[in-house]
Amino acid sequence: MSLFLIAALPFLGAVFPALLIRAGRNACSWSAGLTTALALVGVLLHAPAVMRGEVIQARADWLPGLGLNANFFMDGLGMLFAILILGIGLLIIIYARNYLSREDPMGNFYAYLLLFQGAMVGIVLSDNILLLVIFWELTSLSSFLLIGYWRHLPEGRQGARMALAVTGAGGLALIGGVLLLGHIAGSYDLTVILQQKDVVQESPLYLTALILILLGCFTKSAQFPFHFWLPHAMAAPTPVSAYLHSATMVKAGLFLMARLWPVLAGTPEWFYIVATAGLITMVLGAVIALFKDDLKALLAFSTVSHLGLITMLLGFGTTAAATAAVFHIINHATFKAALFMTAGIVDHEAHTRDIKRLGGLRKLMPVTFLLATLAALSMAGIPPLNGFLSKEMMLEEASHTYWLDNHWLIPVMVTIGALFSAAYSFRYVVHTFLGPVRDDYPHRPHDPGAGMWLSPAILVALVVAIGLFPQAIAGPLVHTVADAVTGQQLDHHKLKLWHGVTPALYMSAIAVIGGAILLAMHRPMDRAWIAAPRPEAKAIFDRLVGALTALCRGVTDRLHDGALGRYAAIFLAVMLVLGGYAYATGTTIGATRSGMPVTLLPLIGWICLIGSTICVVWFHRNRLLTLVLIGVVGLVVSLSFNYFSAPDLALTQLSVEVVTIILMLLALNFMPKTTPAESSGGRKLRDAVLSVGGGLGVGGLIYALLRGDSAFPSISAFHLENSYKGGGGDNVVNVILVDFRGFDTFGEIIVLGIAAVVIYAITEAVMQTGVRAKLLNRVPDQPVAGDAHPMMMVVVTRVMMPVALMVAAYIFFRGHNQPGGGFIAGLIAAIAIIMQYMASGYGWATERQRYPYHAIIGSGVLVAAATGMGAWLNDLPFLTSAFGYIYPPGLEKFEWATAALFDLGVFLAVVGAVLLALDSLSRYAWKPHTDTPYPMDINPARDEALAEEGRKA
């Protein structure tokens, strides 16, 4: 089975539980189980080859320019974790079917679980670290859904948010770390990176990359000081907790440290950061676990402790320690998943997880007692169970590891950690199952059916079997995985129960005996623990989050207060500072071109432009005068375009000015003619300084670019050379718009249409209120003309209409070779129709409207899209134009290009958008009359009622 299919199966399978839940809970769980089982079979089919030392690969280029490839590979390490994820996942699915109540949405649960499972499989099989990071973040998101599955519980929502915040922050650090690592190694493929140990460790970026990667690993695997989020994730259902703590999520950090061990380990920085964090986590987690009364909380902190143990072993940097870490990953997965499931059974049957309300369950739940006892003793490191073997290997490595030349610190600390580990393991069994049967259980407990105890029984069977026959059952797998972790062909020793009388044996005996003593002293120690002041990680986290939230809210309230002027001022100030820095530290472009002579006409235009601009600023409170001055500015700019041989731009600018001025005048009709004075003297001075500085900076930049040769070659030469050959037109500007950059133009007409529809939607919403009635009945603040529609203007516009449309057609058809095109023609046609509205009124023009403007916009977009898709018929990319010559009888040859059809789409979209905006604004000022026919979008009864309401107001 392909690795692509193995990685995709859980994601594909996540769809079925959500759908099949309608067929029943059994169908839902069977679909999830079969999907997981199929993926597991796919992994096991590759197991013989991997055990022989082969590496299974599947490669596909995705974004090779960015180094992001969809590459997967499976070696011993990837195979081990895939088996744990899918194998334990299958057992969890079976267990959850019987654990979840009928009130729990099982379809959602299995869908979330399979999404999470797929993300974990993606992590362990990825051969590209960027792809690995994508799956890494998916585990954070999907675990958020699982932890917060019981969203009606406040602790569930809080635990999910905390897990997402901590692991998400670590994920951001990890992204930076892997980018640096890929940059150092020259590739983002793991199979390449793992061969670059010397290059990576000799790089000056090694320490930075190491710290960032370890931050991602430590947050995901709950290492100190990020250990606090994991116990709060216990608000999730027990199947989720069992899965998170045994084979997934928290093991992701361990996996990544093991995966990158060949290239990152072996340095003092690795040892002191990783081993120290693991040692502290191991001891701290064990101590806290002993004093937890909630079964799942006890097991959660025990997970923290054992994750620290494995992290410490990886941090030692030796091949023997790495082998011990691999072995303990296997053992911990088996006994921890079994323990969580037994805790879930107790909670399910007794309706409580509080140890102080339990006890005496041995007689009531003998099967559960047996399974829990064997798993707990393995966690304590009692022979002949598998936890004892890996604990002995850990103690052996710790016994001869030095920390700052101190030979006793690490052995003493790990012995203390093992001692507390034995104590909380004993407590889990003694305080829960031993003692007399009580008569005050919240619910009378008993062993459940096989559906709940079968999964932990399978895992406990492995616990016993591996402990009794370690080499036969686990030896080959451990050795294969250790070779993959270290990147070496190691000379392994056999796994066995008895290693002789060694320092590790003495340390183990001290831990077991000391654990029993601590259990006997638990009651007074518990009172002392409760009374002793100590920092609470969750409280610290909550205060930190609260402080950050307050800081962010303060910054946001200060900067994002809705004042557009402030936004513009901040933006402009930053740009000026950056521009000034660039000017001071960079080099200027030397003047290599001579300037044009200044004649009288351009000088007059420049003076008008500067004068109009100054007047706009000076008289900006007078809206009508400001609008007139803006029109003057636009006119001068249009003349400037024409002066500099850009007639297309001049025509476009002039047409846009006419349309926008008319629409703005119409909008101004509903607004006060003057604006209030809102800016203080200080703000005016600030704005003046910024605007003058910005203007001088932009002007200086333009002047430098015009006078000097750019460091980059201009693209204009390409367009001039290929305009006719590639697009069939001599008008380079039009060919760029409808051919070379046709996709940009296509997007722009869509945006233009959306803007017009939004204007229509807003005005339609306002029309449903009393605002329009007040507008209709308002008293003008200035005298109005007695004749709203002068006959002279009516006659002139009626005569000009066909002429203007003929000009628009002329401009349209000449656009491919001469100044013009669909955009300019659309504006001219729109102006011609706007003149009819202005001369004869909204009612008259709307009555004669035959086509809705929405449809005109849509047809324009569809015509442009159809033109682009027509290229597909010739196996060419979207919007590739074709052109040729037509020879009509009796006429000269006529050039025709498919770009003209695209230009027709532009024409229709422009006409529709402009007129829809006009129509939307005009409806505010139109007064209904009983003898006037109404268009489809006008409601006479509503408008009359609103008008009457306005008169009464």
The better pLDDT of the pair 588, 6 is held by 6
CA distance 686 to 605: 29
894-897 and 883-886 strand pairing: antiparallel
> What pLDDT is recorded for position 87?
94
pLDDT at 367: 93
Residue 622: how many other CB atoms lie within 10 Å: 14
pLDDT of residue 933: 37
Q: Are 603 and 627 in contact (CB under 8 A)?
A: no
Residue type, 772: R
Closest CA to 399 of 418, 377, 382: 418
Cα dihedral 335, 340, 341, 345 sign: positive
For the chain, what percent of residues have pLDDT higher than 70?
A: 94
- Long-range CB contacts (within 8 A, 24+) of 156-159: 156/235, 156/236, 158/232, 158/235, 159/229, 159/232, 159/233, 159/234, 159/235, 159/236
Q: Dump pLDDT digits (tens) for 5-35.
A: 999 999 999 988 988 888 888 889 999 999 9
Q: What phi-psi label fits residue 845: left (phi over 0), alpha (psi between -120 and 50 degrees) or beta?
A: alpha
Q: Cα torsion at 936, 940, 942, 948 (round to 10°)? A: 150
pLDDT of residue 947: 53
**Mean pLDDT value of segment 332-344:** 92
CA–CA distance, 6 with 117 (Å, rounded to integer): 11
- 239 or 879: which carries more pLDDT confidence? 239
- Of 208 and 765, the structure prediction assigns the larger pLDDT to 208
* pLDDT > 90? residue 339: yes
How far does CA 762 lie from the centroid of its chain? 31
pTM recorded for the entire structure = 0.70
Position 463 scores a pLDDT of 93
- Of residues 532, 447, 601, the one with CA closest to residue 98: 447
What is the model's pLDDT at position 936?
37
Q: Which of 528, 510, 361 is nearest to 428 (CA)?
A: 361
Confidence check: pLDDT of 429 > 60 = yes
pLDDT of residue 775: 67
Q: What is the pLDDT of residue 708?
A: 73
Residue 942 has pLDDT above 70, yes or no: no
Compute the average pLDDT of residues 549-577: 84
pLDDT higher than 70, residue 448: yes
Helix axis angle, 129-147 relative to 206-220, nearest 10°? 30
Measured CA to CA, the distance from residue 771 to residue 764 in angstroms comes to 11
The alpha carbon of 84 is separated from its chain's Cα centroid by a whole number of angstroms, namely 28
What is the sign, positive or negative, of the torsion defined by CA atoms of 60, 65, 68, 73? positive
pLDDT at 950 over 60: no
Ranking 5-9, 246-250, 800-804 by mean pLDDT, the lowest is 246-250
Q: What is the pLDDT of residues 67-114, one digit of tens each?
A: 778 889 999 999 999 999 999 999 999 999 988 888 888 888 999 999
Confidence (pLDDT) at 925: 61
Cα–Cα distance, 470 to 385 (Å, whole number):
9
Structural contact between residues 898 and 882, judged by C-beta atoms closer than 8 angstroms: yes
Task: Tell me the pLDDT tens digit for each residue of 606-642.
Answer: 898 889 888 988 888 888 888 888 888 988 989 888 8
* Phi, psi at 529, each rounded to 5°: -65, -40
| pLDDT over 90, % of the chain | 33
CA 858 to chain centre: 33
Residue by residue, DSSP assigns 642-667 as HHTT-HHHHHHHHHHHHHHHHHHHHH
Q: Is 249 left (phi over 0), alpha (psi -120 to 50) or beta?
A: left
**In the prediction, which pLDDT does 761 show?**
87
| Residues 846, 58: Cα–Cα separation, whole Å | 64
Q: Which two tokens stand for residue 161?
A: 């948010």
Res 938: pLDDT: 44
Question: Following DSSP, what letter does each residue of 170-234 receive, concatenated?
Answer: HHHHHHHHHHHHHHHHT-SBHHHHTT-HHHHHTSTTHHHHHHHHHHHHHHHTT-TTSTTHHHHGG
DSSP secondary structure string, 264-322? H-SSHHHIIIIIHHHHHHHHHHHHHHHT--BHHHHHHHHHHHHHHHHHHHHHH--HHHH
Of residues 696 and 729, which shows the higher confidence score? 696
Looking at residue 949, its pLDDT comes to: 55
Quick check: helix, strand or coil at residue 120? Answer: helix
Task: State how far the Cα of 752 lies from the Cα of 909, in Å rounded to an integer.
Answer: 8
User: Do the Cβ atoms of 201 and 270 come closer than 8 Å?
Assistant: no
User: Is residue 845 predicted with pLDDT exceeding 70?
Assistant: yes
pLDDT for res 946:
52
User: What's the CA gap between 147 and 151, in Å, rounded?
Assistant: 9
Instruction: Round to whole Å and give the CA distance between 170 and 14.
Output: 27
Q: Averaged over 504-508, what is the pLDDT?
A: 89
Task: For residue 879, give every residue at least 6 positions away whose Cβ sits within 8 Å of its Cβ, in sequence order, or none.
Answer: 739, 742, 743, 746, 867, 868, 871, 902
Distance CA 523, CA 356 (A): 11
Q: What's the pLDDT at 420? A: 94
C-alpha closest to that of 347 among 455, 458, 442, 247? 442
Q: What is the pLDDT of residue 927?
A: 55
Cis check for the bond before 225: say yes or no (omega within 30 of 0): yes
Reported as type and span, the H/E element at residue 907 is: helix 899-922
By mean pLDDT, which of 73-87, 294-308, 920-934 is the weakest?
920-934
Q: How many CA atoms lie within 13 A of 810 on its CB side?
A: 6
How high is the pLDDT of residue 652?
86
With tokens 């900006």, the residue in question is: 620
pLDDT band at 152 (very low <50, low <70, confident <90, very high): confident
564, containing H or E segment: helix 564-585
Q: What is the pLDDT of residue 336?
A: 92
Distance CA 858, CA 855 (A): 5
Q: 384: cis peptide before it, omega within 30°?
A: yes
* DSSP assignment of 531-546: HS----HHHHHHHHHH
Helix residue ranges, H only, 647-741: 647-668, 681-707, 716-727, 732-735
**Alpha helix (H) residue ranges in 381-441:** 386-399, 409-433
Residue 268 scores a pLDDT above 50: yes
- Sign of the alpha-carbon dihedral angle for 745, 748, 750, 753: negative
Q: What is the DSSP string of 808-826?
A: HHHHHHHTTTSS--HHHHH
How far apart CA 460 and CA 374 sit, in angstroms, is 7
Calculated CA dihedral for residues 709, 712, 718, 721, nearest 10 degrees? 20
Is residue 319 pLDDT above 50, yes or no? Answer: yes
807-830: average pLDDT: 87
Domain boundaries, the chain: 266-520, 729-953
pLDDT for 786 equals 62
Mention every residue, 6+ apart, whose C-beta is less than 8 A from residue 732: 719, 720, 723
How does residue 935 score in pLDDT terms, banded at 50, 70 and 90? very low
704 with 696: CB under 8 angstroms?
Answer: no
| pLDDT tens digits, 775-792 | 666 666 666 666 667 788
Task: Please provide the average confidence, as pLDDT, over all residues in the chain.
Answer: 85
Q: Report pLDDT digits (tens) over 669-717.
A: 777 777 877 777 788 888 888 888 888 888 888 888 777 776 667 777 7
Dihedral angle, C-alpha 557, 558, 560, 564, nearest 10 °? 140
